Amino acid sequence: MKILLTSLLLYSSINGISNHSTITPSSQQTVLASTYTQIAASSSNANITNDTNASTNDIQTFMQQAQKVINQETKKSTTTLSLNENPNNTIQQDTYGIVDYYKLDTDKLYFYEQRADQKPIVKVVPLSMNANIIRTASANTIPDGFGGRALINSSSINSSGDYIETRVTNISMQRIPQAGSTAYIYTGFNQGSFGVDAGIQYSPNDAPGVWQPYLKLSNTGPVASSYLLKPYNQVQSSNGYVPNQPIQMDVWKNYTSSETGENNAIRLKLVGTAICTDLACSHHQQTKLMSIFSKSNVGVTKKVDNYKLLATVAGANATGSFSTTISDIAIDGVPKTPTRDATDNTTMTISGNQVSYTLNK
């Protein structure tokens, strides 16, 4: 299957978008666009940790960019979205308890977390390529693990295929994967020899377990938010998305914005319900979390060969059991029905623009 766990890049493919109605943030947990514009992106207004040779100017520039990204996202999200037309799964997209922005540089990871009425947290840590390697699940079979893969081939994409939207729902972990193996739900794409896997991976560290961001570009080591090398694991902490609640995931193959300064970027955006209200997960209270990963100057301008949708358990001698559904699958906003590609110890059912998986081994 896949994964070189080191800092924040990854080997699987996942993607999506989601909202949840059970979140009712208090005034101190709700972040509106107006809140962000009032917070200056200066070092005096943030708690900064720099474990690299990044200059003060580099960090200042990153903080300004992070503010622009957050402002853009909250400005976009002014309408109420619904999940599967269910009024119980509705949430105001313009309210967030936490927004995390990850910028991947050549040898550094820049991290920015914003919460309402709190100083932003800024961390800069080195990206290390020393990690355990798990093969990607892009081949015709599911190597080094088991699961199911569906594809949307380029022949069925009439547009330029700039981005894929999905919603991950109905996640149920029946049997936690054994040590040395990890569960993933992800999307992404392949274009020639280049591939992107983007989505979520399961972490059992904080009961009842959480799903955390995962991103992998095929020509670099993977970045998984919970697998930063010591002593840099504080960047991700144990916070993550609550199981059994929807997670919205979007992936762009070539994202450019003059407003944020992102240029030809691979971009992953996740929105869901977090188990905690802070980076360190010291306060267990569900709140809405948006996570954005971006790496510029690596985007794909050509049409992709395919977009992929997977649920897998990766690792040598992997075992475990879980089920999930990837729904509301769309390319450039147009619903798409994927086709079956490969399964291993997995029941995979495709119905319109959704795929359901049951993995058991």
Distance separating alpha carbons of residues 310 and 304, to the nearest angstrom: 17
> Considering only CA atoms, which of 256, 128, 266, 129 is closest in space to residue 197?
266
Overall average pLDDT of the 13-37 stretch: 31
SS (H, E, C) the chain: CCEECCCCCCCCCCCCCCCCCCCCCCCCCCECHHHHHCCCCCHHHCEEEECCCCCHHHHHHHHHHHHHHHHHHHHHCCCEEEECCEEEEEEECCCECEEEEEEECCCEEEEEEEECCCCCEEEEEECCCCCCEECCCCCCCCCCEEEEEEEEEHHHCCCCCCEEEEEEEEEEEEECCCCCCEEEEEEEEEECCEEEEEEEEEECCCCCCEEEEEEEECCCCCEECCCCCCCHHHHCCCCCECCCCCEEEEEEEEEEECCCCEEEEEEEEEEEEECCCCCCCCCCCCEEEEEEEEECCCCCCCCCCEEEEEEEEECCCCCCEEEEEEEEEEECCEECCCEEEEEECEEEEEECCEEEEEEEC
> Average pLDDT in the 108-125 region?
87
The answer to whether residue 114 scores a pLDDT higher than 70 is yes
Confidence of residue 128 (pLDDT cuts 50, 70, 90): low
How high does pLDDT run on average in the chain?
Answer: 78
Domain-by-domain residue ranges, the chain?
3-141+165-171+193-310
* pLDDT at residue 288 is higher than 80: yes
Find where tokens 């070539």 sit: 254
pLDDT attached to residue 30: 35
**So what's the pLDDT on residue 191?**
93
Tokens of 170: 């109905």
How far apart CA 268 and CA 49 sit, in angstroms, is: 24
Q: How many Å apart are CA 61 and CA 41, to the nearest integer?
A: 9
Least confident range of 190-194, 256-260, 267-271: 190-194
**In whole angstroms, what is the distance from residue 146 CA to residue 317 CA?**
9
The yes-or-no verdict on residue 96 having pLDDT over 50 is yes
The yes-or-no verdict on residue 297 having pLDDT over 50 is yes
| Residues forming a β-bridge with 291 | 100, 270
pLDDT per position as a tens digit, 197-218? 999 999 876 556 889 888 888 8
More confident residue, 109 or 338: 338
> CB within 8 A of 315, min separation 6: which ones?
1, 134, 144, 145, 177, 178, 180, 181, 182
d(CA 347, CA 202): 20
Percent of the chain with pLDDT over 70: 72
* 38-89 pLDDT tens trace: 344 455 689 998 989 999 999 999 999 999 999 998 877 544 343 333 333 4
Nearest to 62 by CA among 97, 33, 101, 32: 101
Q: Is the dihedral of CA 92, 95, 98, 104 positive or negative?
A: positive
Hey, CA dihedral for 150, 16, 245, 89, is it positive or negative? Answer: negative
Give 173-189 pLDDT, tens digit per residue: 999 888 888 899 999 99
pLDDT computed for residue 7 by the predictor: 33
- Beta pairing partners, 187: 198, 309
Between 140 and 263, where is the model more confident? 263
Q: Is the pTM of this model over 0.75?
A: yes
- Please report the pLDDT score of residue 283 as a whole number: 82
Q: How far is CA 86 from the centre of its chain?
A: 24
Q: Are strands 354-360 and 346-351 parallel, antiparallel or unpaired?
A: antiparallel
Task: Kindly indicate the confidence band of residue 95, based on its pLDDT and cuts at 50, 70 and 90.
Answer: low
Whether the pLDDT of residue 238 is over 90: the answer is no
Report residue 350's pLDDT band, with 50, 70 and 90 as the boundaries.
very high
Confidence at 141, pLDDT banded by 50, 70, 90 = low
